Structure 1
Amino acid sequence: MVDKYNADDLAKAGRLKQIRMVASLVNQQNRKALPIVFGSAVGIIAVFVLVGLLTGFAAYLIPLGVLLGLLAGMILFGRFAQSAQYSAIEGQPGAAAAVLQSMRGNWTVTPAVTANRNMDVVHRAVGRPGVILVGEGAPSRLAGLIAAERKKTARVAHDVPIFDFQVGDGEGQIPVRQLQRKITRLPRNLRPAAVSDLNYRLKALQPSLQMPKAPLPKGVRQPKMPRPRVR
């Protein structure tokens, strides 16, 4: 399913319009999501109102119930929204790059540092864990592509840890919705100064992108997504 709302639309819209657009996307992906959000919020408020009236502490419990109900609704809505955003970009070329570029923190992301004529691509992210190479495409072809990029990166990264992942639904690959969680759970091996030095050294590497002979279809662009939450 192709999402009719993209990141550019969300950026141009006002805050309330953004919420309506995201709510529409969530409703498209999961018809039960919004009723669950509203039901949970109202249920929590109702419980606190009832307990407050029965115990005589309504003046304290009702405001607390309203706050907790709204908070629960916002958390649930955020989770459903994130799931819907991932569903909208899964299977699209450049989905992994979109996730990498949406990560919070001091990350330097270089999309498509290498690719082949079959449009299998490898993206690079540099941060506190070290160098992360993320491939999109067929597992059989990506293995060699990632290995070559890893070897090239190691020549300038020296002893810096290098991690690699394959995104997709094939054997040995991880779904795009799990990519950010995998990366943010990596150990922080480098200090900020070492990350800056590593980025400087990696600039010497020239992209080995092999563009296909046929022209790219018109209107094709890398998918974007709002920033998911980092937990």
Structure 2
Amino acid sequence: MSTPTSTPTSRRAQMMQTYHLAKKTDPRIGLYILLSFLVGAAAGFAVVWFLPGDGWISTVAAVISALLLGVLLALIVFGRRAMAAQYKQMDGQKGAAAGALQMLRRGWTTTPLVGFNKQQDVVHRVIGPPGVVLVGEGDSQSRVKQLLATERRKHERVLADIPVHEVICGNGEGEVPLAKLVKHVTKLGRSVKPAEITDILNRIKAIDATRGTIPMPKGPVPTSMKGVRSQQRGR
């Protein structure tokens, strides 16, 4: 008999962990969650209360509506503020882009650290509807561009017919801020059909097989936003 992978208890524990982590960066998150619940509850109660109806049935329906809408709005606010706090905590850390790219939904394949140099500039790879997206991050935009160009040439050797996009994650001119990275990547268009993605993954194995082991950059590498992602997906 299989054991369930997720229980209400573990989900509550995960939500509490996400809340406490977010509160370090966003001390008012609890206040905003409470206010959103009250606003949602008031709106839900009012909408049902003023509908035609009689007696206790209307009252019960209004209370249920208030609770449902209040909880829904509170969860939405919680998810958004927790995500914003997570991005703020990760911003500037080595490998932060890899953690953000894990927020991409089904249909995307993210491979962190496919490129690396001595200065600890890195390149991550995403494969999805736009084709191949190479995301670079580092302290020097010029070095990151060189690293991206090198990785682009490697990929184009086996993917001559597939679009290869280059993105630099950062806060400088021409760079994409960490908090907007996922949105930017998903807006690069749809040049590849879902059936072609498997073929791309197979062809890219030739590149990865010759790459060898890439040394991890020094310091913490934030590569998981699992808690926040689960709240956004409702899982």
The 5-angstrom pairing of residues 95-106 of structure 1 reads 95-106=96-107
1:112 is displaced (CA, Å) by: 1.6
Aligned mate of 2:173, from 171, 174, 192:
171
Query: In 2, distance between residues paired with 1:210 and 1:73?
Result: 42
Give the structure 1 partner of residue 34 of structure 2.
Answer: 38
- Alpha-carbon separation, structure 2, partners of 1:54 and 1:125: 51
Structure 1 counterpart of 2:165, one-letter code: F
Q: Decide whether aligned partners of structure 1 residues 47 and 108 sit closer, same or farther in structure 2, where only a CA change above 3 A counts.
A: closer
Taking only the aligned residue pairs, the percentage that are identical comes to 35
* CA RMSD across the alignment: 2.5
Checking the alignment, whether the CA contact within 8 Å between 2:45 and 2:65 is kept in structure 1 is no
Residues 1:211 and 1:23: Cα distance change in structure 2 (over 3 Å): closer
In the superposition, relative to structure 1, how do residues 44 and 126 fare at CA in structure 2: closer, same or farther (>3 Å)? closer
After superposition, the C-alpha distances for 1:45-92 in whole angstroms (9 at most, x for unaligned) are 235446766776433322212211111111111111111111121111
Runs of 4+ in 1 over 6 A off after TM superposition: none
Amino acid at match of 1:168: G
For residue 26 of structure 1, what is the aligned residue in structure 2?
A: 22
Amino acid at match of 2:61: Y
After superposing the two structures, state which structure 1 stretch, 42-51 or 142-151, moved more: 42-51
Q: Match for residue 120 of structure 1?
A: 121
Partners of 1:116 and 1:210 within 8 A in 2: no
Q: What TM-score comes out, normalization by structure 2 length?
A: 0.80
Tell me the equivalent position of 1:151: 153
How many positions carry a matched residue from both structures?
A: 213
Aligned equivalents of 1:52, 1:198: Cα separation in 2: 53
Matching residue of 1:222: 221
1:186 aligns with 2:175: no
Matched, 1:162 2:171: no
Mapped partners of 2:46, 2:127: distance in 1: 53
The one-letter code matched in structure 2 to 1:60 is A
The 1:193–1:47 alpha-carbon spacing in structure 2 relative to 1, beyond 3 Å, is: closer
Alignment-mate amino acid for residue 225 of structure 1: M
Residues 159 and 50 (structure 1 numbering): CA distance in 2 closer, same or farther, change over 3 Å?
Answer: closer
Match of 2:132 in 1: 131
Partner secondary structure for residue 104 of structure 1: coil
Q: Distance in 2 between matches of 1:150 and 1:79?
A: 34
Question: With structure 1 as the length reference, what TM-score do the two structures score?
Answer: 0.81
**Does the CA-based 8 Å contact 2:44-2:70 persist in structure 1?**
no
**Structure 1 residues 169-227: Cα deviation after superposition (integer angstroms, max 9, x where no partner):** 22211111111111122222212221111111111113377759xxx65xx44212225
User: What is the DSSP-based 3-state SS (H/G/I as helix, E as strand, rest coil) of the residue aligned with 1:18?
Assistant: helix
Mark the CA change 1:20 to 1:87 in structure 2 (over 3 Å): closer, same or farther. Answer: same
Q: Distance in 2 between matches of 1:193 and 1:49?
A: 48
Q: Gaps (5+ residues) in structure 1? A: 1-12
In 2: Cα distance, 1:40 partner to 1:24 partner = 18
Looking at structure 1, the residues matched to 49 and 172 of structure 2 have their Cα atoms a distance apart, in angstroms, of 56
Instruction: Report if the CA contact (8 A) 2:158-2:204 is conserved.
Output: yes
